[in-house]
Amino acid sequence: MDIESASNKTEISDTLRFSNDENLNTLLKSVVGEVTAHAERLFEQIKKLSDIGRALSGVYDLNTLLEMIVDQARNFTNADAGTLYIVEENTLRFKIVQNDSLKIRMGGKDGESIPFAPVELNESNVSAYVALKGVSVNIPDVYNTDLFDFTGPKKFDQSTGYRSQSMLVVPMRDHYGDVIGVLQLLNATNFTTGDVTTFSQDYESLTESLASQAAVSITNAKLISNMAELFEAFVKVMATAIDEKSPVTGGHIRRVADLTLTMADVIHNTKEGPYKDITFTQDQIYELRIAAYMHDIGKVTSPVEIVEKAKKLQTIFDRIQYIRLRMTYISQKIRLDGQNAQIELLKNGSDPKKINDLEKETQVKLKEVTEIREFINKCNEPGEFLDDDVIDRLKEISQMTYTDDEGIQQPFLTEDELLNLSIRRGSITETERKKMQDHAAVTLKMLKQIPFTKKLKNIPDFAGAHHEFINGKGYPLGLKGDEIPFEGKLMAVTDIAEALTASDRPYKKAMPLETVYRILRSMAEKEELDNTLVELFIEKEVYKIYQQKYENGNSKDN
């Protein structure tokens, strides 16, 4: 080999080495770039998964939560479609169905209703298999596998023109390890080209992590929902207890709750006047509703004979029967005494005129007793107000006496009977009224012992303030002015309005609205009720709105 040939070979070799180094460098750079990009995407996905976990932990509305799970799973896997099932009654029930290509969005908070029947737990169905076995399934192309029966998806594709291809199905396990649902993702797409691709192993692992977090969030949301249902049941049990004790009070509780919510809704929608800036969130309405339902739970300690006291003399029964028997006895004794006196006159041969005068005297006495009995019967009926002359007449009767069979002088009316018959308004005495007023203090005491959640923390203060007066003369705490929560002032108006309009009270008849408005305004003038709330109640015809909404059968007990 000559020198020139050797030199050429070296040059060629160097050229080839240089060329190979460039190819290698390019290849290495490409590989490093892809690895770096993949690592960066993986890091971003893990970070996003962490963010999703935090977001899920703060959502307690189940529909919103389920929708968010599918949205986030599709977002970080770039899946075109997704379905979420929940295990219910040994089936998989569709809860969320999404497909971007077909513009389908079913289930969730605002999505369309889902018309699909539940999936039977049969292993031939991929989602059911995942639910039964608790393992993930990752299929590159559902048309090129015989592992499962994909007749359903293929029929769906035929009817819509869609092409189902890659599918990732993962189980959702709760903290007990039980499968509570299945998350199914369809047609992963390349972030750069948009072409349908398979779900990578990384995406499968990340989706499993998301499903695990989601299952815990779902369990928590259900637990909170169950707690809310339990609390609702407790409220209803308390209302039922009061209802069973006194149907009058039970109806009152429900009606006050409905009337209170009606007035709150009117205030919320008022765009002018002193309440134009006051609105209620859903949580605030729920809190007010529960407070209204619980405002009278203290009445579980109120004696039934006071709650249902229809007549002034009523205790366990109406003691007017005692007085009627007493008056009958007095009348018979007057007749007997008159007859005995006549017999003595006849024995002594008295003038017939004396006998006739004696008979007239007896009839006058009998008439007086009859008038007294009728007068007492009338006084036993609860009215709006007793005048002084009626009270004086009752006192005169109480001073009258008769002699019983044992020769003892007895009053026409006992002290307790006089006290009850002298009630100027209504049917209960001041002592009984104070006993009834105790229910507000008992309500407050009972509710203070309940560990309400943050969103319901004001219930004791709202419910316990419905008998407080603006002037500070209410009960149980004697709060005044702004010391009374706004919701308490509102409930004070609706509570009294309901009591005045109620038709099932044993001690009064339902009043026409004109009379109710007059009484409410009178109480506002005395600074017992909030004047602005009273005027809004009247001017906005809140009671009529309530009647249309609740009493005409258009709405169930909410």
DSSP string, 259-274: HHHHHHHHHHT--SST
- Which residues lie below 8 Å from residue 126, measured CB to CB, with a gap of 6+? 137, 139, 147, 148, 150, 167, 169, 184
CA gap 336, 128 in Å, rounded: 96
* Cβ atoms 446, 297 nearer than 8 A: yes
Pair of tokens at residue 477:
């705490």
Residue 30 corresponds to which amino acid? S
The partner residues of 86 in beta bridges, in order of sequence, read: 93, 181
**Amino acid, res. 190:** N
Three state DSSP letters for 155-223: HHHHHHCCCCCCEEEEEEECCCCCEEEEEEEEEEECCCCCCEECCCHHHHHHHHHHHHHHHHHHHHHHH
CA distance 283 to 285: 5
For the chain, 558 residues long, give each residue's pLDDT as a single digit of tens. 444 444 455 554 554 454 456 665 665 666 566 556 555 655 565 556 556 565 666 656 778 888 888 998 898 899 999 999 999 999 999 999 999 999 999 998 877 889 999 999 999 999 999 999 999 999 999 999 999 999 989 999 999 999 999 999 999 998 888 999 999 999 999 988 889 999 999 889 888 888 888 888 888 777 777 877 888 888 878 777 776 776 665 578 889 999 999 999 999 999 999 999 999 999 999 999 999 999 988 888 877 777 777 788 877 678 888 999 999 999 999 999 888 888 888 888 777 888 888 889 999 999 999 999 999 999 988 876 788 999 999 999 999 999 988 889 999 999 999 998 998 888 777 888 788 788 899 999 999 998 888 889 999 999 999 999 999 999 999 999 999 999 999 999 999 999 888 765 555 566 889 999 999 999 999 999 999 999 999 999 999 999 999 876 544 444
In contact, 72 and 224? CB cutoff 8 Å: no
pLDDT at 555: 46
CA distance 262 to 494: 10
Concatenating the DSSP letter of every residue in 516-542 gives: HHHHHHHHHHTTSS-HHHHHHHHHTTH
Quote the pLDDT of residue 375.
Answer: 94
pLDDT value for 557: 44
**What one-character-per-residue DSSP string does 418-471 give?**
HHHHT-SSSS--HHHHHHHHHHHHHHHHHHHTS---GGGTTHHHHHHTTT--TT
Q: Are 275 and 489 in contact (CB under 8 A)?
A: no
The reported pLDDT for the residue numbered 48 is 60
pTM over 0.85? The answer is no
With b meaning 16 or more CB within 10 Å and e meaning fewer, what string describes 22-34? eeeeeeeeeeeee
Q: Report which residue type is found at 140.
A: P
- Say which residues have a Cβ less than 8 Å from residue 90's Cβ, sequence separation at least 6: 121
Q: How many CB atoms neighbour CB 97 within 10 A?
A: 22
Question: What per-residue confidence (pLDDT) applies to 505?
Answer: 57
Tell me what pLDDT residue 30 has.
Answer: 61
Separation of alpha carbons 377 and 371, rounded Å? 10
Beta carbons within 8 Å of 513's beta carbon, 6+ residues apart: 501, 543, 544
Terminal-residue alpha carbon distance, the chain: 105
Q: Assign domain 47-223 one CATH number from 3.30.200.20, 1.20.120.640, 3.30.450.40, 3.20.10.10.
A: 3.30.450.40
539, 543, 549, 550 alpha-carbon torsion, rounded to 10°: 170
> What is the residue type of 170?
V
* Homologous superfamily in CATH for domain 246-308+431-551: Hypothetical protein af1432 (1.10.3210.10)
Residue 18 confidence (pLDDT): 46
